[in-house]
Homo-oligomer: A and B are copies of this chain.
Amino acid sequence: MKEMLSKISIQVNEKIYLKNPDTSVLGRKLVAGSIALIDELGFEGFTFRKLAKSIDSTEASIYRYFENKHKLLIYLTAWYWGWMEYRMVFGLANVASPEDRLRKAINLLTEIVKEDSTFSHINEIKLNHIILAESSKAFLTKSVDQENKEGFFSGYKALVERMSQIILEINPNYKYSHMLVSTLIEGVHHQRYFTEHLPALTDVIQGEDAISDFYKDMLFKAIKTVEK
């Protein structure tokens, strides 16, 4: 079983990297190390020099995998969305009602990742933590149009489209399905971040997962109700 799972790997757009880090020991150490280091230092404080030191390699070697740290961040986010897609495929299979599928999808997106999977070198707990604080920096740059054209964000877009389709199954007349989904996804990241750092901007309720409850409430009301 473990062996089977170890053969599953998340594919990301080939143009993101110079050399696929998934194909070598150094590449996997590089990615694993970058997750630990970005989580520790933040993306701005993170440099390839520090990464090289932390994995006992050299800057030059890292530059053979990624053009720059921005591309590495895009790689991590693309991997994350690929992984999320994979979790959705498994989690939503054989769930007949679109309502239940949507509920499950929201759960997957809002959950704080608490278990590291055994099938990859990537620590999904730390990666999830990075995504909350850093993922928007992957597209909030002047190179976004070019990078979008090259398909760097296709994983994210595919997920939005998939969930959008579920919403349209529930209510084919709902006009803002993509907006609703991307508002949910980015919102979850922000609210989780706010809970930790800017609690005045959110609502923390003892013993409840307010974020998950809030977004479920919000989405179903948006899709299913007519205003009183």
Contacts and interface: CB of A to CB of B under 8 A. Distances in A.
Interface of A: 41-42, 44-45, 133-134, 136-137, 139-142, 144-145, 148, 153, 156-157, 160-161, 175-180, 182-183, 186-187, 190-191, 193-194, 197-198, 200-203, 205, 210-211, 213-214, 217-218, 220-222, 224-228
Contact of A224 (B136, B186, B220, B228): B228
A5 to B, nearest CB: 31
A196 to B, nearest CB: 9
Contact of A179 (B41, B186, B203): B203
Contacts of A201: 156-157, 160, 178, 182
Sort A-B residue pairs by CB-CB distance and give the 8 closest, nearest first: A42-B142, A182-B201, A176-B214, A225-B225, A183-B187, A157-B200, A221-B221, A144-B197
Given A187-B186, A190-B186, A218-B218, A200 B160 contact: yes
